[in-house]
Amino acid sequence: MVKKGSKEERDLVHIFWDKGFAAMRAPASGGATKKPLPDVLAGNSKKYLAIEVKTTTKELIYVDSSQIDGLYKFCEIFGAEPYLGVKFKQTKWLFLNIESMTKTKSKNYKVDKNLALEKGLDIDEVIGRDRQIKFN
């Protein structure tokens, strides 16, 4: 079951602030507006990140393709880097490039915990600190 992410989104916003990035939730995301908005927006005048947030107690997360399309559209206009921020039970925040996600037969996306652990970037890698090369 994917949980409502408002608490987790707030926690992620605080983490970005602690790392020197201004960050905010876009509380109108998720259908309150027809405009494509990410769940969390963060930046530091050099780098801007737009993040669709998903958390779960399960081993698998499904993401509707319209959310990813909206994230890309927002990033194209705003100039931010798009990421899916995922948090599985007993994991830290991991950030995935959309290209590393698996498409389902219905053209939506799925991320399992193992994929996130293998391909996901941690917060320092996403913001550009201690960037490490990940080999496939």
Q: Which residues are designated catalytic?
A: 29
DSSP E strands: which ranges in 1-136?
22-25, 40-43, 48-56, 60-63, 81-88, 94-96, 102-103, 109-112
Is the torsion defined by CA of 35, 39, 45, 47 positive or negative? negative
Residue in 35, 34, 9 with CA at minimum distance from that of residue 24: 9
Sign of CA dihedral 64, 70, 75, 76: positive
